C-alpha cells in the first residue's frame, strides 16, 4: 500500500518539491493511515483536527488521540473547536460542519504557509458518492466521482478500498477510533454504505475493482464531452453573452450538450428540455430563468443576461462640459468637434449631435413604455417600443435599451438610432460627440 501511495502522488504530481501539506485528521482509520503514510514518506506536514462537539466525550477522545499522535511524532498540531451554538443556523449540521472545517483549513494555509490540504477520502467514499448522485439524478460529471485534486486540495488515499485501509492499519499497528454514528442510517450516505453497497456486493463481490475501471471510462467520457462543449460555448459580443444554437436538432446527444452549455448559468437538465422544445418550435422571444440569469431565445441565438444587469437602474445626468460621468453599469464620455463632417465611429456606442439643439443637462436612462421619438431617416414620430420590434431587438436586450433625453425629448436610442431633430446638418458649426460605454 505504501508503494501504491507514493506512485499515485508521483504520477499525478499531488505533492511536489517545496510543498507543505496540511493533513485533515479526524482520528478515524482513514485519516490516521493517511497521517502515517505522509509521515513515513517524509513530506513536510502538519495536522489539523476539528472537534465538532457533536458526540460528547467521544469527540474529546478523538481530539486527544490526534493530539497525542502528533506529540509522539513531533508533528505540528492545529485544533479548531466548534462552538455548539453554531448548529442552530438554518443550514444543515453537515453543511455547517463543512463550512467550519474548510474555513479553518484556509486560515491555516494563509497563516502557516501550507500549500496543500490532504483529506483521507478512499475508494469506497468515491463509490458511495457516485451511487448517491446516481440515485438523486445527475449528469456525466456527477458520475465521475471525487476529484483526486483541486486548487490545493489533494486526496492521496482514493486508490485504496476501505478493506485495504483497515488491513494496512492493523499490519502497521496504527491506533484509530471508530465513529459509531457511521453505523446509523440517519444520513443518506450511511444508508448507501450500510445497506446498498453490501447488496450490490452480493451481485458483484469485486464491486470496488470494477467500479474503479468504470470510473476511468466515465471520467474519459466527461473529458470528451467537455472538449465538445468548449467549441460551442457562449461568446461575448458588444457586452452580451450569445450562445449560438443553430446547430441544435433536438437529438438526445444535442440535448446533453445543451444542458452542459447552460449549466454554468444555473440551469438544470429540466430547463434544457424546456429550452429544447422552444428551439425546435422556432418561436422567438421565449424567456427562461435561473436564480441568477435569464435566457432569451431569438432567431437561433440564446441571449444570456445576468439578472443583476437586467434589473440594475441607470440614470445619468450629462452636463454640457467635456468630460466623463458614470452611474451604475454605464459611463458617458462627452467632447466637442469643429465642423459638421462625421468621423469614423462605432454606432453601437457613439453618436453625434448638434449641441445648439440640445438642452442640458441631458439624461441617460432606460426606455419606458410610452416613449416616442423622430427616427433619423424616417418621417414622423414612432414609439420606441415599435421601433425595437421593427429592429428585431431580442426581448432580453429590450430591457437594457437606453435613451438619451434632452428636456423631455428623446435624442438617441443608444446604439440604434438618433432623433431627426438633433442631427448634424450643413448649418452645424460644432458637433457634440457622445460615447456610452458599459462597464465589464
Q: CA–CA separation, 207 vs 219, rounded Å?
A: 18
Residue 279 scores a pLDDT above 60: yes
Whole-number pLDDT of residue 65 = 97
Mean pLDDT of 156-182: 92
What cell does 344 get?
Answer: 469614423
Q: What is the dihedral angle through the alpha carbons of 383, 387, 388, 392, rounded to the nearest 10 degrees?
A: 150
Please tell me the predicted confidence (pLDDT) of residue 328.
67
Whole-number Å distance between alpha carbons of 375 and 157:
69
Instruction: Cite the residue boundaries of each domain of the chain with CATH code 3.50.40.10.
Output: 312-438
Tens of pLDDT, residue by residue over 379-395, are 889 999 999 888 888 76
Please determine, for residue 182, whether its predicted confidence score (pLDDT) is greater than 90. no
Q: Is omega for the bond preceding 361 within 30 degrees of 0, making it cis?
A: yes
Write out the three cell numbers for 352: 453625434
> How confident is the model over 200-233, as pLDDT tens digits?
999 999 999 999 999 999 999 999 999 999 989 9
Whether the per-residue pLDDT at 440 is higher than 60: the answer is no
Pick the more confident residue, 247 or 187.
Answer: 247
Give the H or E element holding residue 162: helix 162-171
Q: What share of the chain is helix, strand, coil (3-state, %, to 5)?
A: 40, 25, 35
The helix/strand count (H/E) of the chain reads as: 14, 21
Cell numbers representing residue 23 in the block: 493533513
More confident residue, 265 or 300: 265
Gap between the Cα atoms of 393 and 408, Å rounded: 24
Angstrom CA distances, 47 to 51, 111, 153, stand at 13, 14, 14
Residue 158 reports pLDDT greater than 60: yes
pLDDT of residue 43: 95
Strand partners of residue 419: 375
pLDDT, tens digit, for every residue of 129-153? 999 999 999 999 999 999 999 989 9
Average pLDDT, the chain: 90
Separation of alpha carbons 413 and 400, rounded Å: 11
**How far is Cα 262 from Cα 26, in angstroms, rounded to an integer?**
38
- Which tens digit of pLDDT belongs to each residue from 73-105? 999 999 999 988 787 766 788 888 889 999 999
Q: Which CATH superfamily is domain 2-221 in?
A: HUPs (3.40.50.620)
Q: State the Cα–Cα distance between residues 298 and 350, nearest whole angstrom.
A: 26
First to last CA, the chain: 51
Task: Give the model confidence (pLDDT) of 240-259 as tens digits.
Answer: 789 999 999 989 999 999 99
Whether 32 and 25 have beta carbons less than 8 Å apart is answered as: yes
Architecture of domain 312-438: 3-Layer(bba) Sandwich (3.50)
CB neighbour class for 323 (10 Å; exposed up to 12, middle 13-18, buried from 19): exposed
Measured CA to CA, the distance from residue 204 to residue 212 in angstroms comes to 13
- On whether the CB atoms of residues 396 and 303 are closer than 8 A, the answer is yes
Q: Residue 168 has what pLDDT?
A: 97
pLDDT band at 308 (very low <50, low <70, confident <90, very high): low
pLDDT at 102: 93
Parts of the chain belonging to CATH 3.40.50.620: 2-221
Q: Are 410 and 371 in contact (CB under 8 A)?
A: yes
Report pLDDT for 286.
Answer: 79
pLDDT of residue 103: 94
pLDDT at 195 > cutoff 80 = yes
pTM above 0.75, yes or no: no
**pLDDT confidence of residue 312:** 57
- % the chain with pLDDT above 70: 95
Amino acid at each position: 500500500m505504501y508503494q501504491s501511495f507514493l506512485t499515485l502522488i508521483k504520477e499525478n504530481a499531488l505533492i511536489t518539491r517545496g510543498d507543505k501539506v496540511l493533513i485533515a485528521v479526524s482520528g478515524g482509520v482513514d485519516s490516521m493511515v493517511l497521517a502515517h503514510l505522509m509521515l513515513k514518506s517524509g513530506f513536510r506536514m502538519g495536522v489539523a483536527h476539528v472537534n465538532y462537539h457533536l458526540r460528547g466525550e467521544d469527540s474529546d477522545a478523538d481530539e486527544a488521540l490526534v493530539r497525542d499522535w502528533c506529540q509522539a511524532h513531533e508533528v505540528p498540531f492545529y485544533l479548531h473547536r466548534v462552538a455548539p451554538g453554531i448548529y442552530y443556523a438554518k443550514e444543515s449540521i453537515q453543511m455547517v460542519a463543512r463550512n467550519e472545517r474548510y474555513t479553518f483549513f484556509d486560515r491555516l494555509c494563509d497563516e502557516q504557509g501550507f500549500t496543500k490540504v490532504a483529506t483521507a477520502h478512499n475508494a469506497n467514499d468515491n463509490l458511495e458518492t457516485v451511487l448517491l448522485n446516481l440515485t438523486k439524478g445527475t449528469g456525466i460529471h456527477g458520475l465521475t466521482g471525487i476529484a483526486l485534486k483541486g486548487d490545493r486540495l489533494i486526496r492521496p488515499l482514493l486508490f485504496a478500498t476501505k478493506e485495504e485501509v483497515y488491513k494496512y492499519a492493523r499490519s502497521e499497528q496504527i491506533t484509530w477510533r471508530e465513529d459509531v454514528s457511521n453505523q446509523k442510517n440517519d444520513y443518506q450516505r450511511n444508508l448507501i454504505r450500510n445497506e446498498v453497497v453490501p447488496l450490490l456486493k452480493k451481485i458483484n463481490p469485486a464491486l470496488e475493482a470494477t467500479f474503479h475501471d468504470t470510473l476511468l471510462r466515465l471520467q474519459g467520457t466527461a473529458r470528451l464531452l467537455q472538449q465538445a462543449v468548449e467549441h460551442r460555448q457562449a461568446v461575448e459580443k458588444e457586452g452580451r453573452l450569445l450562445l449560438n444554437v443553430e446547430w441544435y436538432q433536438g437529438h438526445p446527444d444535442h440535448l446533453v450538450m445543451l444542458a452542459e452549455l447552460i449549466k454554468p448559468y444555473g440551469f438544470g437538465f429540466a430547463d434544457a428540455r424546456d429550452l429544447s422544445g422552444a428551439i425546435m418550435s422556432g418561436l422567438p422571444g421565449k424567456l427562461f430563468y435561473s436564480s441568477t440569469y435569464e435566457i432569451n431565445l431569438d432567431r437561433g441565438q440564446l441571449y444570456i443576461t445576468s439578472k443583476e444587469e437586467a434589473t440594475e437602474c441607470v440614470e445619468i445626468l450629462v452636463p454640457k462640459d467635456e468630460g466623463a460621468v458614470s452611474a451604475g453599469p454605464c459611463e458617458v464620455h462627452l467632447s466637442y468637434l469643429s465642423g459638421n463632417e462625421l468621423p469614423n465611429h462605432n454606432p453601437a456606442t457613439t453618436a453625434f449631435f448638434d449641441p445648439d439643439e440640445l438642452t442640458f443637462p441631458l439624461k441617460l436612462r432606460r426606455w419606458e413604455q410610452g416613449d416616442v421619438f423622430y427616427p433619423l431617416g424616417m418621417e414622423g414620430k414612432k414609439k420606441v417600443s415599435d421601433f425595437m420590434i421593427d429592429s428585431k431587438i431580442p426581448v432580453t436586450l429590450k430591457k437594457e435599451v437606453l435613451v438619451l433625453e434632452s428636456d423631455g425629448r428623446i435624442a438617441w436610442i443608444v446604439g440604434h438610432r438618433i432623433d431627426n431633430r438633433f442631427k448634424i446638418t450643413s448649418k452645424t458649426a460644432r458637433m457634440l460627440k457622445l460615447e456610452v460605454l458599459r462597464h465589464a
